[in-house]
């Protein structure tokens, strides 16, 4: 690995809630580097700080201290260094949710192309890209269907297509396989690995699903807000 390969660089990141006796340290001096093509898992018991770390990397939550660099850009160093965090998320980060969180009023294709619409793509090009991704994820035949009529696996593949639509280099996934059976979970993880490799992206997933641990390059354990090993 060369330094330019680092997509996520988290150094000395801490996050606490409250003060005095009510103070809770969600993250304590966390250091984490994730490289191009890497697929890593954040593991740990409930309250260990996994989601907090995911939110910090996703620029949703400001850390109390530390420095965060995404795809070579410093985004946090004691304070946010960019004011347009949503634009940053739109351009650099793709999110995959446990409950896929597709917008119920849009079709599968529109759920994917909405990201491109927000990114300023011409609508026809956006629709083309959405169809291309859905076909690639073998769910193109459901492009005109609304999420309520999709199966769990289909919905999750549409959600992955949405996360990848704007070609982000950092993909954050929160329990991406929780709603899937074992076979489908393996398939989704294989797919994510393939996409990470093809798009020169990295994937950071919070998971409790032991059946897919072998699909990750690294397992990062968190306990009481600290990285235990990696």
Partner 1 sequence: MNLAIKDIRHGLFRFVLTCLGLGLLMTVVLAMIGIYNGLVADALAVVKAPAADVWVVEAGTQGPFAEASSIPATTRDAVARMPGVAEAGAITYQTIEASHAGKTLRLYVIGFEPGRPGGPQRIAEGRGLGRSHFELVADRKTGLVPGETIRLGRDRFTVVGLVEDAMNSGGDPAVYVTLADTMTLQTTMDPAAARVQAARGDGGLRAPTVAAVIARLEPGADVALLTATVRQWKHLSALSQGEQEQLLLASVVDRARRQIGLFLGILLSVSAVMIALIIYTMTMEKLKQIATLKLIGAPDRTIVGLIVQQALILGISGLGIGLALILLVKDSFPRRVLLEPFNALVLTGIILIVCLVASGLGVRAALKVDPATALGG
Asked if 180 contacts 188 with a C-beta cutoff of 8 angstroms, the reply is yes
Candidates 91, 128, 217, 224: give the one binding partner 1 (CB under 8 A): 91
Asked if 114 contacts 125 with a C-beta cutoff of 8 angstroms, the reply is no
List, as one string, the DSSP characters of 40-78. EEEE-STTSSHHHHHHHHTTSS--SEEEEEETTEEEEES
24-32, 105-113, 132-140, 220-228 -> range binding partner 1 (CB under 8 A): 105-113
Q: How far is the CB of 40 from partner 1 (least distance, A)?
A: 17
Q: Is 64 in the site for partner 1 (CB under 8 A)?
A: no
Candidates 4, 18, 20, 104: give the one binding partner 1 (CB under 8 A): 104
Asked if 163 contacts 94 with a C-beta cutoff of 8 angstroms, the reply is yes
Q: Is 89 in the site for partner 1 (CB under 8 A)?
A: yes
Asked if 61 contacts 15 with a C-beta cutoff of 8 angstroms, the reply is yes
Asked if 209 contacts 178 with a C-beta cutoff of 8 angstroms, the reply is yes
Q: What are the two backbone dihedrals, phi and then psi, of residue 53, each rounded to the nearest 5 degrees?
A: -65, -40
Query: x-or-dash pattern for partner 1, window 140-179, by CB under 8 A?
Result: ------x---------------x-----------x-----
Q: Site residues for partner 1, window 122-141 (CB under 8 A)?
A: 123
> Site for partner 1 (CB under 8 A): how many residues?
31
3 state SS of 10: strand
Candidates 9, 15, 55, 202: give the one binding partner 1 (CB under 8 A): 55
Distance between CA atoms of residues 15 and 155, nearest Å? 33
21-29, 108-116, 134-142, 218-226 -> range binding partner 1 (CB under 8 A): 108-116
Residues that bind partner 1 (CB under 8 A): 51, 54-55, 58, 60-61, 86-87, 89-91, 95, 97-99, 101, 103-106, 110, 113-115, 117-119, 123, 146, 162, 174
């Amino acid at each position: 690995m060369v330094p330019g390969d680092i997509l996520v660089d988290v150094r000395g990141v801490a996050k606490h809630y409250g003060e005095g006796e009510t103070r809770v340290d969600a993250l304590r001096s966390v250091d984490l580097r994730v490289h191009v093509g890497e697929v890593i898992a954040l593991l740990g018991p409930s309250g260990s700080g996994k989601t907090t770390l995911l939110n910090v990397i996703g620029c949703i939550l400001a850390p109390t201290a530390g420095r965060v660099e995404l795809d070579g850009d410093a985004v946090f160093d004691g304070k946010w260094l960019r004011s347009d965090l949503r634009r940053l998320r739109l351009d650099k980060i793709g999110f995959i949710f446990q409950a896929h969180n597709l917008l119920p009023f849009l079709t599968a294709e529109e759920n994917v192309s909405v990201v491109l619409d927000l990114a300023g793509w011409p609508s026809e090009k956006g629709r083309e890209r959405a169809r291309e991704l859905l076909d690639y994820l073998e769910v193109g035949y459901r492009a005109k269907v609304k999420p309520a009529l999709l199966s769990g696996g289909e919905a999750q593949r549409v959600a992955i297509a949405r996360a990848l639509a704007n070609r982000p280099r950092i993909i954050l996934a929160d329990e991406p396989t929780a709603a899937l059976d074992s076979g489908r979970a393996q398939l989704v993880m294989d797919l994510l690995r393939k996409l990470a490799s093809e798009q020169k992206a990295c994937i950071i997933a919070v998971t409790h699903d032991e059946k897919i641990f072998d699909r990750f390059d690294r397992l990062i354990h968190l306990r009481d807000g600290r990285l235990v090993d990696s």
